Amino acid sequence: MSKTFLNPIETISSVIDMGITRGREKSSIKILISGFMAGMFISLACIGFLIAQTFDFPFSKFLGASIFPIGLMLCVFTGTSLFTGNSLLSLSFFTKDITLFQLVRNLILVWIGNFLGSIFVAFISFYSGTFLLQNIQEVVLNACISKINISFIEGIFSGFLCNLLVAIGIVMALSATDAIGKLFACWFPIMLFVLSGYQHVVANMYIFSIGKFLCPSYLPILKTITNYLFPVTIGNFLSGGVFLPIIFYILYVDKK
């Protein structure tokens, strides 16, 4: 009987292998495209999440949180790259399988690709008529307002908690050996972070982008990046790219 999931040591080995494959990718265009597609997938999930908030019943927030994990599912099954998930490449750097340059290059290109994919879906969804109704426009603008009202420090800490769950979801998906296992591995941690209201930089990229289309005079682009996306990026990386990789390295890699 085949195994339905890998043990922790086997799983962390898979995480390292993922880091080697992605970190050693020589084509910048491929990395950008991979990030672009992942940005699109998270943005499409964001649309479902935002639409769910327009439903007038007590469990609309939970419904939205249940829909959003589809974005990560699409990324996992297509092998595309999210900044949050690719933060785990730090583990391959700790094992000296990739260089610091390869790690930083991948994360920067993936971040840019994620942002471009988010803007693209915002453009398409805006002109598709998805946001014509007043109630969905109010949901989007309220989401933007709630995100710009958090402080720089809150953005870092909320981003930390978010990617603690997202990165664990990636690890769980790598541990599963069948499709159903990978689906559930994506669903539970992502549902929890969305329900808790933590900040995910790629999701925020889309929400700010569609907010800009709906209200062009609102949210200056440079200020949005420096004041709102930057702290969340830091928080996301601190958990997915520093905290968890160090823990995994100590527990499952270091032989001392």
What would the pLDDT profile of 113-124 be if each residue is shown by its tens digit? 999 999 999 999
- Residue 184: count other Cβ atoms within 10 Å of its Cβ: 14
Predicted confidence band of residue 56 (pLDDT cuts 50, 70, 90): confident
H/E segment holding residue 105: helix 100-127
Split at pLDDT 50, 70, 90, the class of 217 is confident
pLDDT of 256 over the 70 cut: no
> What DSSP letter does each residue of 135-200 carry, written as one string?
HHHHHHHHHHHHHHTS-HHHHHHHHHHHHHHHHHHHHHHHHB-SHHHHHHHHHHHHHHHHHHT---
- pLDDT in the model for residue 5: 87
Round to whole Å and give the CA distance between 209 and 255: 46
**Average pLDDT in the chain:** 95
How far the first Cα of the chain sits from its last, in Å, is 34
Mean pLDDT of all residues in 214-224:
82
Provide the pLDDT confidence category of residue 255 given band limits of 50, 70 and 90.
Answer: confident
Q: What is the pLDDT of residues 188-213, one digit of tens each?
A: 999 999 999 999 999 999 999 999 99
Q: How far is CA 211 from the centre of its chain?
A: 19
- pLDDT for residue 164 is more than 80: yes
pLDDT digits (tens, 9 = 90+) for 24-51: 999 999 999 999 999 999 999 999 999 9
253: CB partners within 8 A, 6+ apart: 12, 16, 91, 94, 95
Q: How far apart are CA 224 and CA 184, in angstroms?
A: 33
Structure confidence at residue 158 as a pLDDT band (50, 70, 90): very high
pLDDT digits (tens, 9 = 90+) for 103-156: 999 999 999 999 999 999 999 999 999 999 999 999 999 999 899 889 999 999
Q: Is the pLDDT of residue 95 over 60?
A: yes
Average pLDDT over residues 85-96: 98
pLDDT of residue 1: 57
For range 240-256, the mean pLDDT:
93
Question: For residue 69, what are its two tokens?
Answer: 């994990």
Supply the pLDDT for residue 225: 84
% of the chain with per-residue pLDDT over 70: 99
For residues 170-177, average pLDDT: 97
List the Cα angle 251/253/255 in 5-degree steps: 90
How confident is residue 79, by pLDDT bands cut at 50, 70 and 90?
Answer: very high
Residue 3, pLDDT score: 80
pLDDT > 90 fraction of the chain, expressed in percent and rounded: 89
